[in-house]
Amino acid sequence: MEDDKKTSRRPGPFRMVQGADNSESWKDFKEAFSDYALVEDLYEQCPRKQIAIFRACFGDHNGQFLRILNLREIQADDGTTDDDSPCDTLAKMIGKLDEIFAPNENIYFRRHQFSKIKQSASESVTDFVNRIMKAVKPCKFTSESEMIINQLISGTSLEVAQRIIFEADINKEWTIEKIVATMKQTEANNEPVTGVSKRRDGK
């Protein structure tokens, strides 16, 4: 039972997106792992166990990534333990990952990444909007609101919402709030349709 509790407290595995700026994802994972290590007194364990638990939290799917970077090697002479901080080997691993996932401050790269944001089929309007609002800040656009509106429209997976906007009166003024309201209304209208379809299919 205690082992189950520990497992449930572990941070979710780190998810990398090829070609993207993963700095925020790494920051979130690192903070979650640090909290987990503190609660579970992880740094009281031997270096080998600290490394093994970090690898497990980092995710099995990232094993090859760690091997390529030679981060899985355990230093033979690493016998350091400190109740409040990781062993030398783990500290070096985390430091190396800090370097790899350091944020890219080039605004043109940031703008390129911003223009590629798309709403996934399973992503709610709220989560999609939050992701765009977060990503626009480092882009340093002269007019943030216009860029946000453009990306909300081009990036949404809700084709009905796009059609409503495209076919609206040319004199209608679209604000971020109106765009989001249209998307949320479309999202809400889709929910009962999905439920009816499932019942018809016998699912």
The pLDDT-based confidence of 137 (bands split at 50, 70, 90) is confident
The pLDDT-based confidence of 1 (bands split at 50, 70, 90) is very low
pTM to 2 decimal places: 0.52
More confident residue, 197 or 94: 94
142-183 tens-digit pLDDT: 888 989 999 999 999 999 999 999 998 888 889 999 999 999
Query: Rounded to whole angstroms, what are the CA distances from 30 to 23, 94, 95, 112, 138?
Result: 10, 8, 11, 26, 21
At residue 47, φ and ψ (nearest 5 deg) are: -55, -40
What dihedral angle (degrees, nearest 10) is formed by the CA atoms of 121, 32, 101, 156? Answer: 20
Percent of the chain at pLDDT > 70 equals: 81
Q: What is the mean pLDDT of residues 131-146?
A: 87
Spatial distance between the Cα atoms of 175 and 193, rounded to a whole number of angstroms: 28
Spatial distance between the Cα atoms of 156 and 183, rounded to a whole number of angstroms: 8
What domains sit in the chain, N to C, each tagged with a CATH number? Answer: 11-100 (no CATH), 107-200 (1.10.1200.30)
Under 8 Å between Cβ of 113 and 135: yes
Q: Which helix H or strand E contains 53, and what residues bound it?
A: helix 47-58
